[in-house]
Structure 1
Amino acid sequence: MNNVSSNSQAPRAGRPRSESARLAILDAAADLALAESRVPTVDAVAARAGVSRTTIYKWWPSASAVLAEGLLERFHESIEFDDSLPVRDALTLQVGALVRLLRETPAGALLRQLLAAAASDERLANALLERWMDPRRERAAHHLARGVAQGELRADVDVELVVDALFAPVYHRLVWGHAPLDSDLAGQVCDLVWPAISAR
Protein backbone atom coordinates (compact mmCIF):
# COMPACT_ATOMS: atom_id res chain seq x y z
CA MET A 1 0.00 0.00 0.00
CA ASN A 2 1.09 3.54 -0.58
CA ASN A 3 1.78 5.51 2.59
CA VAL A 4 0.06 8.67 1.45
CA SER A 5 0.17 10.44 4.79
CA SER A 6 3.91 9.95 5.29
CA ASN A 7 5.14 10.62 1.79
CA SER A 8 2.79 13.10 0.15
CA GLN A 9 3.49 16.10 2.36
CA ALA A 10 6.67 18.09 1.79
CA PRO A 11 8.00 19.65 5.02
CA ARG A 12 8.28 23.40 5.33
CA ALA A 13 11.66 25.10 4.92
CA GLY A 14 14.29 24.25 7.53
CA ARG A 15 16.00 21.14 8.81
CA PRO A 16 14.52 17.80 7.72
CA ARG A 17 12.06 16.83 10.39
CA SER A 18 12.63 13.83 12.63
CA GLU A 19 10.12 11.10 11.85
CA SER A 20 9.78 10.26 15.53
CA ALA A 21 9.11 13.91 16.41
CA ARG A 22 6.63 14.19 13.53
CA LEU A 23 4.67 11.16 14.69
CA ALA A 24 4.73 12.34 18.32
CA ILE A 25 3.30 15.72 17.28
CA LEU A 26 0.60 14.16 15.08
CA ASP A 27 -0.35 11.68 17.81
CA ALA A 28 -0.50 14.45 20.39
CA ALA A 29 -2.75 16.60 18.20
CA ALA A 30 -5.10 13.72 17.43
CA ASP A 31 -5.22 12.49 21.05
CA LEU A 32 -6.00 15.93 22.46
CA ALA A 33 -8.58 16.76 19.79
CA LEU A 34 -10.42 13.45 20.01
CA ALA A 35 -10.49 13.60 23.82
CA GLU A 36 -11.71 17.20 24.00
CA SER A 37 -13.70 17.46 20.72
CA ARG A 38 -11.96 20.69 19.78
CA VAL A 39 -8.81 21.88 18.03
CA PRO A 40 -5.94 21.86 20.55
CA THR A 41 -3.56 24.77 21.01
CA VAL A 42 0.01 24.63 19.75
CA ASP A 43 1.18 24.90 23.37
CA ALA A 44 -0.87 21.86 24.37
CA VAL A 45 0.37 19.81 21.41
CA ALA A 46 3.98 20.80 22.07
CA ALA A 47 3.72 19.88 25.76
CA ARG A 48 2.15 16.49 25.07
CA ALA A 49 4.62 15.65 22.28
CA GLY A 50 7.65 16.84 24.26
CA VAL A 51 8.77 19.33 21.62
CA SER A 52 9.00 23.10 21.40
CA ARG A 53 6.48 25.45 19.82
CA THR A 54 9.23 26.44 17.40
CA THR A 55 9.54 22.84 16.20
CA ILE A 56 5.85 22.70 15.37
CA TYR A 57 5.84 26.06 13.60
CA LYS A 58 8.83 25.01 11.48
CA TRP A 59 6.71 22.30 9.89
CA TRP A 60 3.07 23.43 10.14
CA PRO A 61 1.42 26.86 9.93
CA SER A 62 -1.06 26.27 12.77
CA ALA A 63 -2.49 23.80 15.26
CA SER A 64 -5.38 23.20 12.86
CA ALA A 65 -2.95 22.18 10.11
CA VAL A 66 -1.24 19.76 12.50
CA LEU A 67 -4.63 18.31 13.41
CA ALA A 68 -5.67 17.87 9.77
CA GLU A 69 -2.58 15.72 9.15
CA GLY A 70 -2.89 14.04 12.55
CA LEU A 71 -6.44 12.89 11.81
CA LEU A 72 -5.37 11.49 8.44
CA GLU A 73 -2.49 9.63 10.12
CA ARG A 74 -4.77 8.28 12.85
CA PHE A 75 -7.49 7.11 10.46
CA HIS A 76 -5.34 6.29 7.44
CA GLU A 77 -6.88 2.85 7.05
CA SER A 78 -10.09 4.58 5.95
CA ILE A 79 -8.53 5.38 2.56
CA GLU A 80 -6.58 2.20 1.86
CA PHE A 81 -8.36 -0.59 0.01
CA ASP A 82 -6.55 -3.31 -1.88
CA ASP A 83 -6.37 -3.33 -5.67
CA SER A 84 -7.62 -6.93 -5.63
CA LEU A 85 -11.10 -5.57 -4.89
CA PRO A 86 -13.45 -4.78 -7.77
CA VAL A 87 -13.33 -1.05 -8.49
CA ARG A 88 -16.93 -0.42 -7.48
CA ASP A 89 -16.41 -2.27 -4.19
CA ALA A 90 -13.22 -0.34 -3.41
CA LEU A 91 -14.93 3.00 -4.03
CA THR A 92 -18.03 2.06 -2.02
CA LEU A 93 -15.87 0.90 0.87
CA GLN A 94 -13.83 4.10 0.82
CA VAL A 95 -16.88 6.35 0.87
CA GLY A 96 -18.48 4.13 3.51
CA ALA A 97 -15.39 4.29 5.71
CA LEU A 98 -15.50 8.09 5.59
CA VAL A 99 -19.21 8.07 6.52
CA ARG A 100 -18.55 5.81 9.53
CA LEU A 101 -15.57 7.87 10.60
CA LEU A 102 -17.56 11.11 10.56
CA ARG A 103 -20.67 9.58 12.10
CA GLU A 104 -19.19 7.33 14.78
CA THR A 105 -16.08 9.14 16.04
CA PRO A 106 -15.29 12.65 17.30
CA ALA A 107 -13.54 13.23 13.96
CA GLY A 108 -16.87 14.32 12.49
CA ALA A 109 -17.33 17.24 14.89
CA LEU A 110 -13.67 18.17 14.58
CA LEU A 111 -13.75 18.22 10.79
CA ARG A 112 -16.90 20.35 10.88
CA GLN A 113 -15.01 22.88 13.04
CA LEU A 114 -12.02 22.84 10.69
CA LEU A 115 -14.17 23.31 7.59
CA ALA A 116 -16.00 26.23 9.19
CA ALA A 117 -12.73 27.91 10.18
CA ALA A 118 -11.23 27.28 6.74
CA ALA A 119 -13.84 29.55 5.17
CA SER A 120 -11.96 32.57 6.55
CA ASP A 121 -8.45 31.10 6.86
CA GLU A 122 -6.70 30.44 3.57
CA ARG A 123 -3.74 28.66 5.18
CA LEU A 124 -6.06 26.27 7.00
CA ALA A 125 -8.07 25.70 3.81
CA ASN A 126 -4.87 24.77 1.99
CA ALA A 127 -3.78 22.52 4.85
CA LEU A 128 -7.11 20.68 4.80
CA LEU A 129 -6.88 20.21 1.06
CA GLU A 130 -3.30 18.96 1.19
CA ARG A 131 -3.47 16.86 4.37
CA TRP A 132 -7.03 15.54 4.45
CA MET A 133 -8.86 15.90 1.14
CA ASP A 134 -6.12 15.27 -1.43
CA PRO A 135 -4.90 11.89 -0.06
CA ARG A 136 -8.49 10.59 -0.11
CA ARG A 137 -9.10 11.98 -3.58
CA GLU A 138 -5.85 10.45 -4.85
CA ARG A 139 -6.83 6.98 -3.64
CA ALA A 140 -10.29 7.23 -5.20
CA ALA A 141 -8.76 8.53 -8.45
CA HIS A 142 -6.37 5.57 -8.39
CA HIS A 143 -9.26 3.11 -8.33
CA LEU A 144 -11.10 5.00 -11.07
CA ALA A 145 -7.97 4.92 -13.26
CA ARG A 146 -7.73 1.20 -12.56
CA GLY A 147 -11.31 0.81 -13.77
CA VAL A 148 -10.56 2.70 -16.99
CA ALA A 149 -7.42 0.61 -17.61
CA GLN A 150 -9.38 -2.61 -17.10
CA GLY A 151 -12.13 -1.50 -19.47
CA GLU A 152 -14.69 -1.44 -16.67
CA LEU A 153 -15.19 2.33 -16.88
CA ARG A 154 -15.57 4.62 -19.88
CA ALA A 155 -12.29 5.90 -21.27
CA ASP A 156 -13.55 9.48 -21.27
CA VAL A 157 -14.48 9.52 -17.57
CA ASP A 158 -13.72 12.87 -15.90
CA VAL A 159 -11.97 11.42 -12.87
CA GLU A 160 -11.88 14.65 -10.85
CA LEU A 161 -15.59 15.24 -11.37
CA VAL A 162 -16.46 11.67 -10.41
CA VAL A 163 -14.42 11.98 -7.21
CA ASP A 164 -16.36 15.16 -6.42
CA ALA A 165 -19.63 13.33 -7.00
CA LEU A 166 -18.60 10.45 -4.72
CA PHE A 167 -17.57 12.51 -1.70
CA ALA A 168 -19.62 15.72 -1.96
CA PRO A 169 -22.82 14.26 -0.44
CA VAL A 170 -20.88 13.13 2.65
CA TYR A 171 -19.34 16.53 3.34
CA HIS A 172 -22.55 18.36 2.41
CA ARG A 173 -24.50 16.39 5.02
CA LEU A 174 -21.71 16.80 7.57
CA VAL A 175 -21.61 20.60 7.22
CA TRP A 176 -25.31 21.37 6.85
CA GLY A 177 -26.87 18.52 8.78
CA HIS A 178 -29.94 18.56 6.52
CA ALA A 179 -29.86 14.77 6.21
CA PRO A 180 -28.21 12.00 8.22
CA LEU A 181 -24.97 10.22 7.41
CA ASP A 182 -26.82 6.95 6.94
CA SER A 183 -25.03 3.61 6.94
CA ASP A 184 -26.22 2.98 3.36
CA LEU A 185 -25.22 6.41 2.02
CA ALA A 186 -22.07 5.09 0.32
CA GLY A 187 -24.03 2.45 -1.55
CA GLN A 188 -26.66 4.96 -2.61
CA VAL A 189 -24.03 7.38 -3.92
CA CYS A 190 -22.22 4.70 -5.88
CA ASP A 191 -25.52 3.38 -7.28
CA LEU A 192 -26.21 6.90 -8.53
CA VAL A 193 -22.76 7.50 -10.03
CA TRP A 194 -21.96 4.09 -11.48
CA PRO A 195 -24.38 4.00 -14.45
CA ALA A 196 -22.92 7.30 -15.71
CA ILE A 197 -19.34 6.02 -15.76
CA SER A 198 -19.64 2.32 -16.48
CA ALA A 199 -18.39 1.08 -19.86
CA ARG A 200 -21.06 -1.62 -19.78
Structure 2
Amino acid sequence: METHAGTEAKQRRGRRPAAEVRAEVLAAAAALMYADGLPAVTFERVAVRSGASKTTIYKWWPSPGALAAEAYFVTNKTELQFPDTGDLANDVRAQLRAFVQLLTQSGSGRIIAELIGTAQTDQDLSAAVSKHYTMPRRILAIRYFQQAVKRGQLRDDADLGLLVDQLWGACYNRLLIPDAPLDQKFADALVKNTLVGAASSTYRSLLLGT
Protein backbone atom coordinates (compact mmCIF):
# COMPACT_ATOMS: atom_id res chain seq x y z
CA MET A 1 0.00 0.00 0.00
CA GLU A 2 1.34 3.41 -0.93
CA THR A 3 1.92 5.71 2.04
CA HIS A 4 0.75 9.30 2.29
CA ALA A 5 4.38 10.46 2.21
CA GLY A 6 4.94 8.46 -0.97
CA THR A 7 1.93 10.02 -2.62
CA GLU A 8 3.16 13.51 -1.71
CA ALA A 9 6.59 12.72 -3.13
CA LYS A 10 5.04 11.61 -6.41
CA GLN A 11 2.98 14.77 -6.54
CA ARG A 12 6.08 16.90 -6.03
CA ARG A 13 7.88 15.00 -8.79
CA GLY A 14 4.96 15.34 -11.17
CA ARG A 15 4.34 18.13 -13.62
CA ARG A 16 3.43 21.33 -11.81
CA PRO A 17 0.90 23.84 -13.22
CA ALA A 18 2.59 26.39 -15.48
CA ALA A 19 1.27 29.31 -13.43
CA GLU A 20 2.82 27.86 -10.28
CA VAL A 21 6.18 27.31 -11.94
CA ARG A 22 6.14 30.82 -13.44
CA ALA A 23 5.36 32.38 -10.06
CA GLU A 24 8.21 30.46 -8.42
CA VAL A 25 10.63 31.54 -11.16
CA LEU A 26 9.64 35.19 -10.72
CA ALA A 27 9.97 34.91 -6.94
CA ALA A 28 13.42 33.33 -7.30
CA ALA A 29 14.55 36.05 -9.70
CA ALA A 30 13.31 38.78 -7.35
CA ALA A 31 15.05 37.22 -4.36
CA LEU A 32 18.37 37.01 -6.22
CA MET A 33 18.02 40.55 -7.55
CA TYR A 34 17.28 42.11 -4.17
CA ALA A 35 20.04 40.14 -2.46
CA ASP A 36 22.88 40.53 -4.96
CA GLY A 37 21.75 42.99 -7.65
CA LEU A 38 20.71 42.63 -11.27
CA PRO A 39 23.82 40.66 -12.39
CA ALA A 40 22.79 37.87 -10.00
CA VAL A 41 19.75 37.08 -12.14
CA THR A 42 21.02 34.38 -14.46
CA PHE A 43 18.96 31.54 -15.86
CA GLU A 44 21.26 29.06 -14.16
CA ARG A 45 20.87 30.56 -10.69
CA VAL A 46 17.14 31.09 -11.09
CA ALA A 47 16.69 27.49 -12.23
CA VAL A 48 18.52 26.17 -9.18
CA ARG A 49 16.60 28.39 -6.77
CA SER A 50 13.13 27.83 -8.28
CA GLY A 51 13.43 24.18 -9.26
CA ALA A 52 12.34 25.01 -12.81
CA SER A 53 14.32 23.77 -15.80
CA LYS A 54 16.46 26.19 -17.79
CA THR A 55 14.57 25.04 -20.90
CA THR A 56 11.32 26.28 -19.39
CA ILE A 57 12.85 29.60 -18.37
CA TYR A 58 14.37 30.12 -21.84
CA LYS A 59 10.95 29.41 -23.34
CA TRP A 60 9.22 32.12 -21.28
CA TRP A 61 11.86 34.89 -21.21
CA PRO A 62 14.24 35.99 -23.98
CA SER A 63 16.94 37.10 -21.52
CA PRO A 64 17.72 37.28 -17.80
CA GLY A 65 17.10 41.03 -17.97
CA ALA A 66 13.57 40.52 -19.27
CA LEU A 67 12.93 38.06 -16.44
CA ALA A 68 14.31 40.52 -13.88
CA ALA A 69 12.10 43.35 -15.15
CA GLU A 70 8.94 41.27 -14.84
CA ALA A 71 10.00 40.00 -11.43
CA TYR A 72 10.50 43.57 -10.22
CA PHE A 73 7.02 44.64 -11.34
CA VAL A 74 5.26 41.58 -9.91
CA THR A 75 7.03 42.05 -6.58
CA ASN A 76 6.02 45.71 -6.30
CA LYS A 77 2.64 45.69 -8.02
CA THR A 78 0.65 46.32 -4.84
CA GLU A 79 2.82 49.25 -3.74
CA LEU A 80 2.47 50.86 -7.18
CA GLN A 81 -1.32 50.97 -7.23
CA PHE A 82 -2.96 54.33 -7.90
CA PRO A 83 -5.61 55.47 -5.36
CA ASP A 84 -8.78 57.11 -6.68
CA THR A 85 -10.79 58.96 -4.05
CA GLY A 86 -11.86 61.68 -6.46
CA ASP A 87 -9.49 64.31 -5.04
CA LEU A 88 -6.73 64.93 -7.56
CA ALA A 89 -4.09 66.43 -5.28
CA ASN A 90 -4.60 63.95 -2.45
CA ASP A 91 -4.56 60.94 -4.78
CA VAL A 92 -1.45 62.00 -6.68
CA ARG A 93 0.29 62.98 -3.44
CA ALA A 94 -0.50 59.57 -1.92
CA GLN A 95 0.79 57.76 -4.99
CA LEU A 96 4.00 59.80 -5.20
CA ARG A 97 4.66 59.38 -1.49
CA ALA A 98 4.27 55.61 -1.85
CA PHE A 99 6.53 55.65 -4.91
CA VAL A 100 9.22 57.68 -3.15
CA GLN A 101 9.04 55.37 -0.13
CA LEU A 102 9.41 52.36 -2.42
CA LEU A 103 12.48 53.87 -4.07
CA THR A 104 14.18 55.00 -0.88
CA GLN A 105 13.28 52.53 1.86
CA SER A 106 12.84 49.05 0.38
CA GLY A 107 15.95 48.56 -1.75
CA SER A 108 13.85 48.93 -4.89
CA GLY A 109 15.56 52.19 -5.84
CA ARG A 110 18.85 50.41 -6.47
CA ILE A 111 17.10 47.77 -8.53
CA ILE A 112 15.13 50.14 -10.76
CA ALA A 113 18.28 52.22 -11.29
CA GLU A 114 20.10 49.07 -12.43
CA LEU A 115 17.19 48.09 -14.69
CA ILE A 116 17.02 51.54 -16.31
CA GLY A 117 20.78 51.71 -16.77
CA THR A 118 21.13 48.23 -18.26
CA ALA A 119 18.08 48.79 -20.49
CA GLN A 120 20.07 51.35 -22.46
CA THR A 121 22.14 48.54 -24.01
CA ASP A 122 19.83 45.52 -23.61
CA GLN A 123 16.87 45.59 -26.02
CA ASP A 124 15.09 42.65 -24.39
CA LEU A 125 15.34 44.29 -20.98
CA SER A 126 14.23 47.66 -22.39
CA ALA A 127 11.15 46.08 -23.95
CA ALA A 128 10.35 44.19 -20.74
CA VAL A 129 10.69 47.32 -18.55
CA SER A 130 8.27 49.13 -20.86
CA LYS A 131 5.81 46.22 -21.10
CA HIS A 132 5.70 45.19 -17.46
CA TYR A 133 6.59 48.36 -15.58
CA THR A 134 6.70 51.83 -17.11
CA MET A 135 3.96 51.66 -19.76
CA PRO A 136 1.26 50.04 -17.56
CA ARG A 137 1.91 52.66 -14.88
CA ARG A 138 1.88 55.47 -17.45
CA ILE A 139 -1.46 54.30 -18.84
CA LEU A 140 -2.88 54.01 -15.32
CA ALA A 141 -1.87 57.58 -14.48
CA ILE A 142 -3.19 59.00 -17.76
CA ARG A 143 -6.54 57.27 -17.24
CA TYR A 144 -6.73 58.78 -13.78
CA PHE A 145 -5.95 62.24 -15.16
CA GLN A 146 -8.62 61.80 -17.83
CA GLN A 147 -11.13 61.32 -15.04
CA ALA A 148 -9.74 64.41 -13.32
CA VAL A 149 -10.40 66.38 -16.52
CA LYS A 150 -14.00 65.12 -16.53
CA ARG A 151 -14.36 66.17 -12.89
CA GLY A 152 -13.21 69.67 -13.79
CA GLN A 153 -9.99 69.42 -11.77
CA LEU A 154 -7.60 69.64 -14.74
CA ARG A 155 -7.72 71.96 -17.74
CA ASP A 156 -9.31 70.47 -20.86
CA ASP A 157 -6.13 71.23 -22.82
CA ALA A 158 -3.71 69.81 -20.23
CA ASP A 159 -1.06 67.52 -21.76
CA LEU A 160 -1.61 64.42 -19.63
CA GLY A 161 1.44 62.53 -20.89
CA LEU A 162 3.61 65.53 -20.07
CA LEU A 163 2.04 65.66 -16.62
CA VAL A 164 3.16 62.07 -16.02
CA ASP A 165 6.68 62.98 -17.16
CA GLN A 166 6.81 66.00 -14.86
CA LEU A 167 5.66 64.13 -11.76
CA TRP A 168 7.24 60.68 -11.97
CA GLY A 169 10.10 61.77 -14.22
CA ALA A 170 11.25 64.19 -11.52
CA CYS A 171 11.39 61.30 -9.04
CA TYR A 172 13.47 59.19 -11.41
CA ASN A 173 15.75 62.19 -11.98
CA ARG A 174 16.49 62.50 -8.27
CA LEU A 175 16.97 58.75 -7.99
CA LEU A 176 19.49 58.60 -10.82
CA ILE A 177 21.15 61.99 -10.25
CA PRO A 178 21.39 62.34 -6.46
CA ASP A 179 22.16 66.07 -6.32
CA ALA A 180 19.09 66.72 -4.14
CA PRO A 181 17.07 64.58 -1.73
CA LEU A 182 14.32 62.24 -2.86
CA ASP A 183 11.93 62.31 0.08
CA GLN A 184 8.34 62.93 1.15
CA LYS A 185 8.83 66.69 1.34
CA PHE A 186 9.96 66.68 -2.27
CA ALA A 187 6.94 64.58 -3.30
CA ASP A 188 4.52 67.01 -1.68
CA ALA A 189 6.15 70.08 -3.22
CA LEU A 190 6.30 68.40 -6.61
CA VAL A 191 2.57 67.67 -6.60
CA LYS A 192 1.63 71.22 -5.68
CA ASN A 193 4.05 72.89 -8.11
CA THR A 194 3.03 70.65 -11.02
CA LEU A 195 -0.71 70.60 -10.50
CA VAL A 196 -1.02 74.37 -10.07
CA GLY A 197 -0.02 74.77 -13.70
CA ALA A 198 -2.29 72.03 -15.04
CA ALA A 199 -5.30 72.56 -12.78
CA SER A 200 -8.53 74.21 -13.86
CA SER A 201 -8.98 77.73 -12.51
CA THR A 202 -11.51 76.50 -9.94
CA TYR A 203 -9.37 73.64 -8.67
CA ARG A 204 -6.25 75.83 -8.71
CA SER A 205 -7.95 78.14 -6.23
CA LEU A 206 -8.50 75.17 -3.93
CA LEU A 207 -4.86 74.10 -4.20
CA LEU A 208 -3.63 77.60 -3.41
CA GLY A 209 -6.24 78.22 -0.76
CA THR A 210 -7.55 81.36 -2.47
**TM-score, normalization: structure 2?**
0.81
1:112 aligns with 2:104: no
Q: Within 2, Cα distance between the matches of 1:108 and 1:82?
A: 21
For 1:110 and 1:83, locate their aligned partners in 2 and report how far apart those are by CA, in whole Å: 28
Aligned counterpart, 1:18: 18
CA offset at residue 162 of structure 1? 0.7
> Take 1:72 and 1:26, find their aligned partners in 2: how far apart are those partners?
10
SS in 2 for 1:139: helix
Q: TM-score, normalised by structure 1?
A: 0.85
Would you say the 8 A contact 1:91–1:143 is kept in 2?
Answer: no
Distance in 1 (alpha carbons) for counterparts of 2:110 and 2:64: 16
Provide the C-alpha distance between the structure 2 equivalents of 1:194 and 1:105, rounded to a whole number of angstroms: 28
1:85 Cα offset (Å): 4.6
Is 2:67 aligned against 1:66?
yes
Q: What runs of 5+ residues in structure 1 fail to find an aligned partner?
A: 1-16
- Deviation by residue 1:84-105 (Cα, 9 ceiling, x = unmatched): 2522222122222121111112
Percent same amino acid at aligned positions?
33
Indicate the residue corresponding to 1:148 in structure 2: 149
CA distance in 2 between partners of 1:148 and 1:85 (Å): 11
Residue-pair matches, total: 184
- Deviating beyond 4 angstroms after TM superposition, the runs of 4 or more aligned structure 1 residues are none
Structure 2: distance between partners of 1:24 and 1:192: 43
How far the C-alpha of 1:81 sits from its partner, in A, is 3.3
Per-residue CA deviations over 1:83-130 (Å, capped at 9, x if unaligned) read 225222221222221211111122111111121111112221121111
Question: How far is the alpha carbon of 1:158 from its aligned partner?
Answer: 1.3
The structure, 1 or 2, with the larger RCO (C-alpha pairs under 8 Å, 6+ apart) is 1
Structure with larger Rg? 2
Q: From the superposition, tell whether residues 61 and 152 of structure 1 become closer, same or farther in structure 2 (CA, over 3 Å).
A: same
What are the ranges of 5 or more consecutive residues in structure 2 without an aligned counterpart?
1-16, 203-210
> Does the aligned pair in 1 maintain the 2:83–2:94 contact within 8 Å?
no
Q: 1:130 to 1:63 in 2, by over 3 A?
A: same
